[in-house]
């Protein structure tokens, strides 16, 4: 997808994704295109503070402003930790240029990342974009359009404070 976006002439400042997409090959591809990234990583991902001494990210004491580490088979990144519902989550940030990147910067990117995650969850679980009983092209397009339209309508209702969260249980 990144190659397609770049071919359109877009130059993203950041690429973000969950741990499912944070394999070394993907991270190196993004790095080679001179884009910054923020990706979630699993708690057992291996990093080094000192060359040759590897440990899992879950074992580290990570300050609020992040910790510069070497991600195994990749290189230098800044590691951040968040808490969500008593669950630790870890993120690596890479910048193509050496510029200061602190907690406020991370929080801004993380908030944007989280909005994308919320959109995907809602469009799949609430608007059922993947659940269609048709197979020909035009009905599939119609279903996708209707699901996106439903999402927009739900966002409008949420802005009007008709409900607080866009969850299936809140809408029934």
Domain ranges in the chain are 2-101, 127-171
Mean pLDDT of all residues in the chain? Answer: 90
CA distance 19 to 161: 32
Res. 167: pLDDT tops 70 = no
Q: What is the pLDDT of residue 143?
A: 94
- Confidence grade of residue 168 (pLDDT, cut at 50, 70, 90): low
64: nearest Cα among 13, 102, 31: 102
pLDDT in tens, 9-18: 988 888 999 8
The predicted model gives 129-148 an average pLDDT of 92
Res 171: pLDDT = 53
In this predicted model, what pLDDT tens digit does every residue of 40-69 receive, in sequence order? 999 999 999 987 899 999 999 999 999 999
CA distance from start to end of the chain: 35
Residue with tokens 């909005």: 115
Contact (Cβ atoms closer than 8 angstroms) between residue 115 and residue 106: no
Q: What would the mean pLDDT of 19-27 be, rounded to a whole number?
A: 93
Q: Which long-range contacts (CB under 8 A, 24 or more apart) does 79-87 make?
A: 79/47, 80/106, 80/110, 81/57, 82/110
pLDDT at 170: 53
């Amino acid at each position: 997808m990144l190659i397609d976006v770049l071919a359109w002439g877009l130059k993203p400042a950041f690429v973000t994704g969950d741990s499912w997409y944070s394999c070394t090959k993907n991270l190196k591809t993004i790095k080679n295109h001179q884009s910054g990234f923020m990706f979630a990583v699993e708690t057992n991902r291996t990093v080094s503070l000192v060359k040759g001494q590897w440990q899992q990210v879950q074992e580290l004491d990570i300050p609020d402003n992040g910790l510069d580490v070497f991600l195994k088979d990749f290189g230098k990144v800044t590691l951040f930790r968040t808490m969500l519902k008593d669950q630790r989550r870890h993120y690596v940030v890479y910048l193509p240029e050496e510029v200061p990147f602190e907690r406020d910067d991370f929080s801004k990117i993380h908030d944007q990342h989280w909005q994308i995650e919320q959109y995907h969850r809602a469009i799949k679980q609430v608007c059922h974009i993947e659940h269609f009983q048709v197979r020909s092209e035009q009905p599939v397009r119609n279903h996708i359009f209707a699901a996106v339209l439903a999402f927009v309508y739900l966002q409008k209702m949420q802005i009007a404070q008709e409900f607080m969260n866009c969850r299936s249980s809140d809408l029934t």
